[in-house]
């Protein structure tokens, strides 16, 4: 392998570059943006944008209401716009201009009553979006089936048919289809909708395949335009490799070839192409060096002279309390002070390095007389660490460090010995919180700015925690189910319940679900900051609402009441409330029964308070239990000696005053607590 030729048009087309640029701008403005399907067919680029906050949804109903949605360059059908508008979403349209033109052609065909045929892959999102603009559309993927499709469409529409092409289709398919259309339909209009950039890229790929011994095509395996490049090159070149990135490229199959061509699909960023080219060029250099070195040069390498500033590798030969000795493989011995191996945690030297380990260091001073070399590991590490910090900033990699000091306006984090300033707004703490609480803590952060000349590095803890929170939220919504338990933290209290954070998502515990006992307010049971275990009662993924329960289902007081009492049993109860129609009494904690006014005494009374007071403990007989409505009827009178039946007139008057004396005429809550009088009792008043 001696020569590498890169196609001029390889990589992002204008439409894809525009969609990526719009995604980056939207992410910078909104923090989180949703995309219907992958933005581009490139795993590396998709992963990078995902780390920035780009979320992918396959269906419109999977997009949260009110979210910011980016429509990728492939475009979508008109129904998608309507669905997103109905969900209150903010839409950023990055549809490629050429694809939008095809949408217009589809809509025009529908309005004109013409048949509409799309030549392309029916499963490709671009083709699906095009069909979404014409209700009577047909997709065909090869020229052989085009003839019968045009005949069928022509018969339905009096030979009035429009034929368009997926923007990434090959020029060969277009020319063949055009001939077939002219032969089959007298009124068939063929639109050349293949992207000009695609044509140029395919033409260059054909040229590379003809003049190179082998061709490397870079692109996603599910990218239509990349697969077409492979097909074109394979027609004229015997050796074609299809890879997604430099890591996937194996050099060994290419070593025997002199000239290698490189091209890439429209979804491949320039950085990936550069990495592939660099890997191949490095192989060329290594091969040349191996074949061109003379015996004298090889001998000189074996007795190489060491100079100040060189980077050398050596094997640890000895460790003393003050220094580490390295065998450099030359006439010199290398020495590194022990303190250069110390870390921020104060780990002992014997736990950090061992005899036989390989160590790389920078040459500080050479003493040829004594045959010694003073080395510095920290100096080399500093250079490497700066490179790592710059790479972390460029690749948006999460790094780890220890907070070493509180600074005006933020904190300082030590990352591989480099000071990284984290502004208070990026610390992840609430506004006006004490920054000192982060001191000596190990934190994860993203590097957002690097100025090597000024030795200035800025980072953000909040970006990492926000991402972790978004991932936790997504996980909860993916795995949530009724009855599932979560450990949560009480975030706030209202008059009607408590909001609990169950790991990034807030759920509501209604006051009726906090306790089986009667409570006046949620604060009677929980306080803000309490760690509690809750379970899911119900949830709605559309509105992102979760109903939680806190009280133990096994502690249901109604079940406890039923296990203890039956109709006819005598119970000792406490009067808890007096009403005009009777008195409510607590049978067991959480279950109240009604002593109707006609059942309080053996004589007629005007009001319950003539006999009873709140707090009185009396014996009663349970006269009725309604298991379905959780109601209990009680009677004091039933425990007394029966009296002679009253006169007819008096009985009728009593009946008019207290209708259905033994009936269950009161209302209770789901927990068995009395809440008021039933409608029939109100009518009696």
Task: Classify residue 444 by burial, with Cβ atoms within 10 Å: 0-12, 13-18, 19+.
Answer: middle
**Chain-centroid distance, C-alpha 423:** 26
* Dist CA 34 CA 53 (whole Å): 8
Distant-in-sequence, close-in-space partners of 605: CB < 8 Å, separation ≥ 6: 597, 611
* Dist CA 155 CA 169 (whole Å): 26
CB 338 within 8 A of CB 349: yes
Instruction: Tell me the backbone φ, ψ of residue 296, rounded to 5 degrees.
Output: -65, -40
Reported residue count of the chain is 685
Distant-in-sequence, close-in-space partners of 649: CB < 8 Å, separation ≥ 6: none
Of 625, 631, 615, 621, residue with least CA distance to 670: 631
Name residue 668's beta-bridge partners: 674
Of 414, 385, 552, 396, residue with least CA distance to 485: 552
CB 424 within 8 A of CB 410: yes
Q: How far apart are the first and last CA of the chain?
A: 104
Torsion of CA 35, 41, 45, 46, to 10 degrees: 40
* Dist CA 349 CA 359 (whole Å): 14
* Dist CA 658 CA 664 (whole Å): 12
Of 174, 164, 144, residue with least CA distance to 100: 164
The single residue listed with the structure tokens 């870390």 is 343
Q: What amino acid positions are annotated as catalytic residues?
A: 126
Over the range 494-519, which residues count as b (16 or more CB within 10 Å of their CB) and which as e?
eeebbbbebeebbbbbebbbbbbebe
DSSP 228: H
* Dist CA 528 CA 490 (whole Å): 5
Distant-in-sequence, close-in-space partners of 523: CB < 8 Å, separation ≥ 6: 493
Instruction: Tell me the backbone φ, ψ of residue 55, rounded to 5 degrees.
Output: -105, 150
H-helix or E-strand spanning residue 264: strand 259-264
> E strands within 268-397?
311-319, 323-327, 333-337, 358-367, 372-376
Pairing of strands 666-668, 674-677: antiparallel
DSSP 251: S
Structure tokens at 177: 């289809």
Computed on alpha carbons and rounded to an integer, the radius of gyration of the chain in Å comes to: 40
Distant-in-sequence, close-in-space partners of 5: CB < 8 Å, separation ≥ 6: 208, 212, 259, 260, 261, 262
Structure tokens at 445: 């952060």
Of 12, 19, 90, 74, residue with least CA distance to 49: 19
Query: How large is the angle between the packed helices 14-30 and 97-112, nearest 10 degrees?
Result: 100
């Amino acid at each position: 392998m001696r020569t590498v030729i890169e196609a001029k048009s390889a990589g992002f087309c204008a439409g894809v570059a525009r969609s990526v640029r719009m995604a980056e701008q939207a992410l910078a403005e909104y923090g989180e943006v949703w995309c219907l399907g992958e933005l581009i067919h490139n795993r590396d680029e998709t992963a990078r944008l995902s780390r920035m906050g780009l979320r992918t949804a396959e269906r419109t109903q999977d997009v949260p209401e009110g979210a910011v949605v980016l429509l990728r360059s492939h475009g979508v059908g008109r129904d998608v716009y309507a669905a997103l508008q109905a969900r209150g979403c903010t839409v950023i349209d990055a549809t490629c201009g050429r694809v939008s033109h095809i949408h217009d052609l589809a809509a025009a065909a529908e309005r004109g009553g013409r048949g509409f045929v799309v030549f392309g892959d029916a499963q490709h999102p671009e083709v699906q979006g095009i069909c979404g603009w014409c209700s009577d559309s047909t997709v065909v993927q090869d020229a052989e089936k085009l003839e019968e499709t045009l005949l069928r469409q022509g018969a339905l529409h009096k030979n009035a048919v429009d034929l368009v092409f997926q923007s990434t289709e090959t020029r060969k398919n277009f020319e063949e289809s055009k001939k077939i259309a002219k032969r089959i339909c007298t009124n068939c209009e063929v639109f050349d909708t293949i992207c000009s950039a695609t044509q140029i890229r395919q033409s260059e790929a054909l040229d590379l395949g003809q003049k190179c011994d082998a061709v490397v095509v870079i692109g996603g395996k599910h990218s239509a335009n990349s697969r077409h490049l492979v097909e074109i090159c394979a027609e004229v070149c015997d050796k074609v490799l299809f890879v997604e990135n430099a890591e996937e490229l194996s050099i060994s199959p290419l070593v025997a070839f002199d000239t290698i061509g490189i091209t890439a699909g429209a979804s491949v960023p320039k950085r990936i192409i550069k990495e592939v080219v660099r890997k191949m060029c490095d192989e060329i250099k290594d091969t040349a060096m191996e074949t061109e070195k003379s015996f004298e040069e090889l001998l000189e390498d074996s007795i190489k002279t060491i100079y100040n500033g060189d980077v050398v590798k050596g094997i640890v030969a000895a460790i003393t309390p003050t220094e580490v000795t390295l065998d450099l493989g030359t006439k010199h011995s290398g020495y590194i002070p022990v303190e250069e191996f110390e870390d921020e945690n104060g780990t002992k030297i014997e736990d950090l390095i061992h005899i036989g380990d390989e160590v790389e260091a920078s040459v500080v001073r050479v003493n040829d007389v004594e045959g010694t070399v003073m080395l510095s590991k920290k100096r080399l590490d500093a250079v490497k660490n700066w490179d790592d910090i710059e790479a972390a900033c460029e690749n948006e990699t999460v790094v780890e460090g220890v907070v070493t000091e509180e600074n005006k306006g933020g904190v300082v984090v030590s990352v591989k010995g480099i000071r990284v300033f984290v502004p208070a707004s990026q610390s992840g703490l609430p506004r006006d919180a004490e920054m000192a609480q982060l001191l000596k803590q190990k934190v994860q952060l993203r590097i957002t700015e690097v100025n090597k000349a000024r030795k200035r590095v800025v980072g953000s803890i909040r970006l990492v925690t926000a991402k972790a929170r978004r991932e936790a939220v997504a996980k909860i919504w993916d795995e949530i189910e009724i009855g599932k338990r979560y450990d949560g933290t009480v975030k706030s209290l209202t008059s009607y319940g408590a909001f609990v954070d169950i790991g990034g998502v807030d759920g509501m515990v209604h006051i009726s679900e906090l306790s089986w006992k009667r409570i006046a307010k949620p604060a009677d049971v929980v306080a803000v900051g309490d760690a509690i275990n809750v379970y899911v009662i119900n949830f709605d993924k559309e509105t992102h609402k979760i109903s939680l329960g806190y009280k133990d289902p096994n502690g249901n007081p109604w079940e406890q009441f039923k296990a203890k009492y039956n109709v006819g049993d005598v119970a000792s109860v406490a009067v808890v409330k007096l009403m005009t129609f009777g008195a409510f009494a607590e049978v067991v904690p959480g279950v109240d029964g009604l002593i109707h006014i006609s059942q309080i005494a053996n004589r007629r009374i005007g009001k319950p308070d003539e006999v009873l007071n709140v707090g009185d403990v009396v014996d009663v007989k349970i006269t009725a239990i309604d298991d379905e409505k959780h109601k209990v009827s009680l009677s004091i009178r039933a425990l007394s000696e029966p009296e002679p039946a009253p006169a007819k007139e008096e009985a009728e008057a009593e009946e008019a005053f207290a209708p259905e004396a033994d009936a269950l005429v009161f209302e209770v809550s789901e927990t068995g607590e009395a809440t008021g009088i039933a409608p029939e009792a109100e009518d009696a008043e």
